[in-house]
Amino acid sequence: MNPNDQYFQQQQQQPGYGAPQLGQNYGGMMPPPPRTPVMVNQPQQFPPANGPQNMNPYGQPSPRPPMTQYGHSPLPPQAANPNQLAQQMGGMNLGDNSLKSPVPSMYPPMNGNVSPAPGTFPSRPPMASNLLASPMPPQSLAPGIAPPRPGLMPPMQQQQQQMRHVSPQQYPNGPGMDNMGHPVNGQQFNSPRPPTGGGFLPTQTAGFPGHPPMPFQQAPLQQHQQQSHLPPTQQQQGGYDSMGSRYPSSPNYPPGMSGPMPGPPSQPMPPQQQARRLDPDQMPSAIQVMEDDKRTRSGPFATNQKGLVPPLVTTPYLTQDQGNSGPRFVRSSMYSVPALPDMMKQTAVPFGLVICPFAQLEEGEQAPPVVDMGELGPVRCGRCKAYMCPFMQFIDGGRRFQCPFCKATTEVPAEYFQHLDHTGMRMDKYQRPELCLGSYEFVGTKDYCRNNVFPKPPAYIFVLDVSYNNVKSGLVHLLCQNIKSILQHLPRESVGGQSGTSRVGFITYSKEVHFYNIKASLAQPQMMVVGDVEDMFMPLLDGFLCDPVESEHIIDQLMVQIPTMFADSRETETILGPAIKAGLEALKAADCVGKLLVFHSSLPIAEAPGRLKSRDERKLLGTDKEKTVLSPQTTFYNQIGQECAGFGCRVDLFVANNAFVDLATIGQVARLTGGQVYKYTYFQADLDGERLVEDVRRNVEQTVAFDSIMRVRTSTGVRPVDFYGHFFMSSTTDVETAGIDSDQAMTIEIKHDDKLTDEDGVYIQVAVLFTSPGGQRRLRIHNLALSVCTQMADLYRSCDLDTVMNLLMKQSVTKLTESTPKQIRDSLINRSAQVLACYRKNCASPSSPGQLILPECMKLLPLYINCLLNCDALSGGSDMSIDDRTFNMFAVQTMHVGASLAYLYPRLVPLLDASAPASPSDQDDVVLPSPVRCTGDKLRDDGVYVLDNGIHMFLWIGLSVSPEWIHGVFGTNSAAQIDIDRTKLIELDNPRSQQVRSVIAQLRSTRQRHMRLTLVRPRDKLEFVFRKFLVEDKHGDASSSYVDFLCHLHKEIRNLLN
């Protein structure tokens, strides 16, 4: 037997084969989850497929009456002419197999029972839960019959085809009743995220594909959870209104479909089979989800409800703190936690928090106020030491309070006592931030200081490699030239009426270490050399750390002398460990915390502590042995990193390498101290200078919380277990960092241990003890309250997919040094399949096994999982260097939710649609066009597009762009004449040039790093790199496209269900 025939014979034996499956109807509204699990292994009894069918005068199924926003049908059904019918079908053109973008779904009908439509089977009593009718898929067209075009008379064969129809009451436990036959009232979720991408068209009511709609007076009026369904392939669009059906199943895909989905070998397909491929534009779209959320949830976001799901990170919103911490500070992967641990385990949805304790606020948002309790200090729980927060309940007339985290009661200090009002609230509740806000700060007493001594303002030390590589590339000269302007961005904070100014110091090194005395009283700077790098010490007791304002003239002289002194350096062997040790000793001598900005260029191979060997074996990347080169080769840099973290010395590493530098080893210093790693491969001052200077400037001007310790407290039943980020943990509870800035986030996995009750809820408190830039010891507190649910549907409805992906990404990257790439990939696919299979089994309406049903809040999970599997941090192979792979791993570990989303799904903006600003300096006046889907199908040869993922930025210029636009921006007559090696656009005095430069500047301002601009044209050597970031497309044999992966994931889900 032919292998293909055998393959299809096997697939035809599977349930649902031949009907539109895999959820045709990504645009169709599916019934919400029932209150009791629907067992898919129970046989479903369907009526025969030869039931009657209502036809209009044109021999077509009667069109559906129009719907309002909430699903009500304002008019009775009317006979429609072919043109009206085509419009009601959502613009589908079945003749050329092109599907328009799905119409955003409306809210589902609410309450009310359904009477059987004329010509349907008798109905049973109303069903349980808040489900709508579950549509049966239509019969697929017979082979060789071309699908009809909308608006034309259907062929006779189509008119004679009888469609199956099942009344919504024919399923057990349907809408309105539970499994015992008791009515179930719909429970409305707090501020539900508007549905996107699913739902019936505004001119349709709920019904079956290819079947007449129910009369207006019989329309169901029940609220339910949104579900998403994929569009059908062309052969499976057997009816005329395929928007009401679901995805086609994997067995109906043509043989030879590319991607990981198993099947017979690829063979040439006839035109009829080629047309059966899924239309990628009909898959769930990240851009559509973002735009819908932006349209409906922009504006103020009040945090006054427990378990309230916040807007997406891509939506512009302003947080109004009313008792819960804002989502910029703390985001949860779920806002309604299952009452039982077994439910959490069954769904496989990860429970975690992404904490960015010092996140940068938007203009108009209130910064956490500072509360000074004097000598009393912060009021805390007597048992678990939780800090006073809005969740504390005062009892006994205000003399005691009960802790929500441990349930213990504590006596209120006499200085803190206040009477209660008639509702049991303190009379001064709204005068004390810690009683009415979710985020605030306490001023720490001496008990919170190191050695019970108030700290000094932090210091900044620049540690510069002056070996041959850095001198030749121009880095030394560039940095010294810009130090003066960089120092003007040092953070300044007034404490107690006095301005706390950070001090600065300078160290250079190659094979030896040089210290500089920049005391203001000197006529010129002095240099002291330490040649014994085996035992590093601090030769200067006074004059090394100075006020940059008082010593400005000395610093200016030093920045002129350094490039001159080392201009003839031929030293190629360098050290690194002793230079970092020198900076640490300088901070110890000054008895203050601070930051080291280390500018390094090459592998430290000089004879000194921390010497490394070359192990540039990039061929191991992508294999089971890659963990050997992604792990540090020595523990020296781990040890010095722990020592720096223990004293409050943060290390930021700026690497400008021309060859292998073993970032996996030397980067441990930055990881353990809470620092960042920056990388500039083949650095050239004229090409990369702007990026380096901007990165250093942003690094210096950020508000950093120095010498910090973070602890996360949770209420009974849940507890933090795993921590991801750049920090050091000397215990199982305290997260220690030498410094954490506004761009860094820590991700924590929460374990569900015990039964929860809705009355108690889930409470989380994040407390960070730190030293402010002004030298004041403080505590920043963030509080978050989550609700508890007993239904799986509520869990899926309350998920934040962006936070889920942040947690999964950091977990996967962390495992790279322990597991093989295949194990990590399989784990991600299996877990995502389990999440969706559990939803399908327990929450979705009864349907054919070949239909893929996605929960509304997680319908982008397949897309994001595929992006994660193909990203550089996880799957970078031998086509990239070991250092580049390691750099991506370090960058991912500190990303907050917005940064991780941009890294997984880059932003692709059509530049020609942007508006020009009034002047070059008015970047805010530029109106950015809406992004488009990240796929090559969206690139037009006469268009210009900007793509960025937070690390890389590309400007793609089509070859057919108008010569006027090219001349106005690049000063050339055609795209072929553009100098693609240029990384900075020339400044021309015309609106087009101002527009492009303003858009790029505005895009850069939203990212953590200054992204280098790379110009790309079609068929250039760099276009392959550019297209690698078009994440919905397939790139090489090791990756899969979005559509292919969706098919593969659907097969995994079916295997789990079977």
pLDDT digits (tens, 9 = 90+) for 736-762: 999 999 999 999 999 999 999 888 899
Question: Does the structure show a pLDDT above 80 at 476?
Answer: yes
Confidence of residue 115 (pLDDT cuts 50, 70, 90): very low
User: What is the DSSP code string of 892-922?
Assistant: HHT--HHHHHHHHS-EEEEGGGPPPPSSTT-
Confidence of residue 37 (pLDDT cuts 50, 70, 90): very low
Cα distance between the two ends of the chain: 27
As a whole-number percent, the residues of the chain with pLDDT over 70 amount to 72
Q: Which of 966, 993, 992 is nearest to 978 (CA)?
A: 966
337/344 Cα distance (integer angstroms): 8
What pLDDT, in 10s, does the model give residues 988-997?
A: 999 999 989 9
What pLDDT, in 10s, does the model give residues 230-253?
A: 544 333 333 323 223 334 333 333
Beta 459-465 vs 594-600: how paired, if at all? parallel
Confidence of residue 396 (pLDDT cuts 50, 70, 90): very high
User: What is the DSSP code string of 105-131?
Assistant: PPPPP-S---PPPTTSPPP-SPPSTT-
Question: Does the structure show a pLDDT above 60 at 35?
Answer: no
∠ CA 877-883-888, nearest 5°, is 75
Domain range 906-1030, CATH class: alpha beta
What pLDDT, in 10s, does the model give residues 353-380?
A: 999 999 999 999 999 999 999 999 999 9
Q: Which three-class secondary structure state does DSSP give residue 329?
A: coil
Asked if residue 887 lies in contact with residue 663, where contact means CB atoms within 8 angstroms, the answer is yes
Beta 594-600 vs 649-655: how paired, if at all? parallel
Beta-carbon contacts of 884 under 8 Å, excluding residues fewer than 6 positions away, are: 679, 681, 872, 876
User: Would you state the pLDDT for residue 118?
Assistant: 39
Question: Does the structure show a pLDDT above 90 at 91?
Answer: no
Q: Which three-class secondary structure state does DSSP give residue 237?
A: coil
837/841 Cα distance (integer angstroms): 6
User: Would you state the pLDDT for residue 925?
Assistant: 61
Strand order in 330-332's β-sheet? 330-332, 352-355, 746-752, 718-724
Q: Which three-class secondary structure state does DSSP give residue 767?
A: strand
User: Would you state the pLDDT for residue 916?
Assistant: 54
Chain-wide mean pLDDT for the chain? 79
Mean pLDDT of 703-722: 96
User: Would you state the pLDDT for residue 225?
Assistant: 45
Confidence of residue 398 (pLDDT cuts 50, 70, 90): very high
More confident residue, 118 or 828: 828
190/178 Cα distance (integer angstroms): 23
879/622 Cα distance (integer angstroms): 10
Q: Which residue intervals of 550-604 are DSSP H helices?
A: 552-565, 577-590
Out of 97-111, 326-340, 401-415, 446-460, least confident range? 97-111
- Tokens 């819908």 correspond to 292
As a whole-number percent, the residues of the chain with pLDDT over 90 amount to 66
More confident residue, 176 or 310: 310
Beta-carbon contacts of 116 under 8 Å, excluding residues fewer than 6 positions away, are: 122, 123, 167, 169
User: Would you state the pLDDT for residue 148?
Assistant: 39
Beta 370-371 vs 762-771: how paired, if at all? unpaired
User: Would you state the pLDDT for residue 914?
Assistant: 67
Q: Report the sign of the C-alpha dihedral through residues 807, 812, 818, 822, in that order.
A: positive
Q: What is the DSSP letter of 14?
A: S
User: Would you state the pLDDT for residue 848?
Assistant: 81
Question: Does the structure show a pLDDT above 60 at 421?
Answer: yes
Axis crossing angle, helix 882-893 with helix 897-904, rounded to the nearest 10: 140
Q: Which of 766, 738, 722 is nearest to 592 (CA)?
A: 738
Mean pLDDT of 875-886: 90
User: Which homologous superfamily is 370-437 in?
Assistant: Zn-finger domain of Sec23/24 (2.30.30.380)
Q: Which of 624, 736, 604 is nearest to 667 (CA)?
A: 604
Domain extent listing, the chain: 370-437, 467-486+502-702, 906-1030
More confident residue, 661 or 135: 661
Out of 254-263, 541-550, 700-709, 972-981, least confident range? 254-263
What pLDDT, in 10s, does the model give residues 577-604?
A: 999 999 999 999 999 999 999 999 999 9
Question: Does the structure show a pLDDT above 50 at 218?
Answer: no
Confidence of residue 922 (pLDDT cuts 50, 70, 90): low
Asked if residue 773 lies in contact with residue 491, where contact means CB atoms within 8 angstroms, the answer is yes
∠ CA 340-346-349, nearest 5°, is 95
- What does the CA dihedral 883, 884, 889, 892 come to, rounded to 10 degrees? 140
Record the tokens describing residue 696, joined without a space.
């250093």
Confidence of residue 917 (pLDDT cuts 50, 70, 90): low
What pLDDT, in 10s, does the model give residues 276-309?
A: 567 888 899 999 999 999 999 999 999 999 999 9
Residue 6 identity (one-letter amino acid): Q
Q: Which of 512, 522, 483, 516 is nearest to 573 (CA)?
A: 512
CATH for 467-486+502-702 is: 3.40.50.410
Question: Does the structure show a pLDDT above 50 at 532?
Answer: yes
For the question of whether the overall pTM of this predicted structure is more than 0.85, the answer is no
Q: What is the DSSP letter of 31?
A: P
